[in-house]
Amino acid sequence: MSKKAIHSDKAPAAVGPYSQAVVVGELLFTSGQLPIDASTGKMPEGPIEERAHRVFKNLSYIAEEAGTSLAKAVKTTVFLADIADFQAVNAVYAEYFPEPFPARSAFQVAALPLGADIEVEAVFAL
């Protein structure tokens, strides 16, 4: 098995010893993406929708760097600091992922890195 790290300068750099994403065979596995704007290093303020848009843009940048797109996502995992944000995030999610939608898990977690309230990871077909 060989693996290749993927990095997009448009998405935030890793905040630890990991890759933004890794390609293995015909699949791209992303690390969890926080709602950090790579150009400012900050998370958007305001409602959860603002940060959800940023997360999905970051995933898109990484997918594009690997030669794929959100349309080829096969599995996503959504981590929320507050499950009450589920419906708002779900509405934003539907703007980025076309049918047939990827398989998905979504759940509330006790805390996320850097105090974020949303993080999303994904697996894509290449």
> Per-residue pLDDT tens for 95-119?
999 999 999 999 999 999 999 999 9
The pLDDT of residue 74 is 98
Q: How many helices (H) and strands (E) does the chain have?
A: 2, 6
The two three-digit tokens of residue 110, written as one number: 């006790």
Looking at the DSSP bridge assignments, the partners of residue 66 are none
| 0.75 exceeded by pTM | yes
Distances (CA, A) of 88 to 2, 23, 38: 38, 31, 23
> Per-residue pLDDT tens for 12-66?
998 789 999 999 999 999 999 999 999 999 999 999 999 999 999 999 999 999 9
**pLDDT-derived band of residue 1, with 50, 70 and 90 as boundaries?**
confident
Using DSSP, state whether 118 is helix, strand or coil. strand
CATH topology classification for 3-125: 60s Ribosomal Protein L30; Chain: A; (3.30.1330)
Domain ranges of the chain: 3-125
